[in-house]
Amino acid sequence: MTDPVSGLIYVFIFPGFLFLFIYALFLAFLDRKIAARMQQRVGPPFFQPFADFIKVLGKEVIDPAGVDRVVFDAAPLVALAAVMTAFLYVPVTGNSPLAFQGDLVVVLYLLSLPTLVLFLLGWLSRNIFSAIGGIRAVTQLFIYEVPFFLALLTPALMAGTWSVSEIVLWQQKNLWFVFLQPIGFIVALVGLQAKLERRPFDIPEAETEIVAGPWTELTGRRLAVMDLTIDLSLVVGSALVAALFLGGPLIPWAIAPAWLEGIIGFLLFLIKTLAVLLILSSIKVATGRIRIDQLNDIGWKYIAGASIVQVGIVLVMNYLWVYA
């Protein structure tokens, strides 16, 4: 990145933090609206997530007795910062100017942080519901994280690079990974759903069992920031899946003016993330919550198994065609 002004614009305005914020609230609205229509409800107006955010932000911040206030305040911000940073490496209009070899690992690592923060919050809250929720969050992390990582690393294996942007470039030259690695795509979607703690994986915050899990003692701006973090994770996660499996914002043909290519790339980004969201919302509506022991069974028996099979298939394909 040569020009510092365009760099700053990239990080802070478009397609950086400001766009991310707006798009996250829009996706949150769309998620709720789709779910509502499928459940024969009316659903919220489009500004509802924003209104909720402002409202919760303005509420009183309550410190549970005996809580370490500094850590309790800082933890949600750490999660927010991690997710926002992760977004900078995901291609939106074209390739990310910040891309480097191995940014895929960084993105995955940063996306794991909110879960750890949730565990920390649950542990700090000094509340039995929060503690159980926090433990469940970490248990769940250990179950879905392995297949999720394996599924997202298989495109890297085949493309021979650890950079999200270069994986997108590889798909531009060859074929989308959703056709080459359908099992990996499904595992990635399931893992993303589990990472975002959406049904059927909302075990850590199951409201009818443990009130709100780690969220129970969060109030005011802490709750607002944590809610926003999950909304942002939805964007980053679906953008990541779109980039790794659906070819990202690039098309196989060159288009004359660069700005037009940028706009088309951006539109492709919107369409693909919305498609991923539609799948995630459908899963959410069509299922109930499973138990943590059932998730343990399903996760290690089938989801992890499927991802390992996918890795094996990719290795064979690499041996036969890609590097032959």
Partner 1 sequence: MPEVVIPIGPHHPALKEPVNFRIIADGEKIVRLELDLSYNHRGVEKAAEQRDFIRVLPLLERVCGICSHSHATAFAKGIEEIMQIGIPPRARYIRTIIAELERMHSHLLWLGVAAHLIGFDTLFMWTWRDREAVQDTLEEMSGNRVHYNINEIGGVRCDLTPSQVNAALARLPLLEERVNTYVDMVNSEETLLIRFRGVGRLSKEEALRYGTVGPTARASGIDYDTRKDDPYLAYSEAPWNVVTDSNGDVFGRTRVRVRELQESLKIVRFCLENLPEGPIRVPAPKNAPKGEILSRYEAPRGELAHFIRTNGTDRVERIDIRTPTLANWTSVAMCLVNRNIADIPVIVAAIDPCLSCTSRITLVDNQTQKAGVIGFDELIRRYRSRNPEEV
Question: Least distance in Å: CB of 291 to partner 1?
Answer: 4
Please tell me whether residue 9 binds partner 1 under the rule CB under 8 A.
Answer: no
The closest alpha carbon to 76, from 229, 197, 236, belongs to 229
Question: Least distance in Å: CB of 41 to partner 1?
Answer: 6
Question: Cα-Cα-Cα-Cα dihedral of 70, 73, 78, 84, to 10°?
Answer: -150
Please tell me whether residue 211 binds partner 1 under the rule CB under 8 A.
Answer: yes
Measured distance CA(239)–CA(62) in Å, rounded: 35
- CA distances to 49, 122, 187, 254 from 28, in Å: 7, 24, 23, 33
Residues numbered 257 to 286 that lie near partner 1 (CB under 8 A) are 285-286
DSSP assignment of 257-318 equals SHHHHHHHHHHHHHHHHHHHHHHHHHHHHH--PPPHHHHHHHIIIIIHHHHHHHHHHHHHHI
Among 73, 209, 219, 266, the residue binding partner 1 under the rule CB under 8 A is 209
Q: Binding segment for partner 1 among 45-53, 129-137, 162-170, 273-281 (CB under 8 A)?
A: 129-137
Please tell me whether residue 202 binds partner 1 under the rule CB under 8 A.
Answer: yes
Measured distance CA(204)–CA(171) in Å, rounded: 36
Q: Of 23 and 215, which CB lies nearer to partner 1 in the complex structure?
A: 215
Q: Of 11 and 34, which CB lies nearer to partner 1 in the complex structure?
A: 34
Q: Of 192 and 210, which CB lies nearer to partner 1 in the complex structure?
A: 210
Among 61, 182, 263, 294, the residue binding partner 1 under the rule CB under 8 A is 294
- ∠264-268-269 over CA atoms, to 5°? 115
Q: Of 128 and 263, which CB lies nearer to partner 1 in the complex structure?
A: 128
Tally of helices (H runs) and strands (E runs) in the chain: 14, 0
Q: Of 2 and 40, which CB lies nearer to partner 1 in the complex structure?
A: 40
Question: Least distance in Å: CB of 124 to partner 1?
Answer: 17
- CA distances to 38, 121, 201 from 35, in Å: 5, 28, 16
Contact 162, 101 (CB under 8 A): yes
Residues numbered 171 to 200 that lie near partner 1 (CB under 8 A) are 199-200
Residues numbered 28 to 87 that lie near partner 1 (CB under 8 A) are 38-41
What residues have CB less than 8 Å from 282, skipping those under 6 apart?
34, 38
Among 187, 188, 203, 314, the residue binding partner 1 under the rule CB under 8 A is 203
Q: Which two tokens stand for residue 280?
A: 């995630």
Q: Of 80 and 203, which CB lies nearer to partner 1 in the complex structure?
A: 203
Among 22, 61, 207, 252, the residue binding partner 1 under the rule CB under 8 A is 207
Among 78, 287, 300, 318, the residue binding partner 1 under the rule CB under 8 A is 287
Among 291, 301, 302, 305, the residue binding partner 1 under the rule CB under 8 A is 291
Question: Least distance in Å: CB of 231 to partner 1?
Answer: 19
Question: Least distance in Å: CB of 320 to partner 1?
Answer: 37
Measured distance CA(141)–CA(225) in Å, rounded: 21
Contact residues for partner 1, defined by CB under 8 A: 38-41, 128-129, 131-132, 135, 199-200, 202-203, 206-212, 285-294
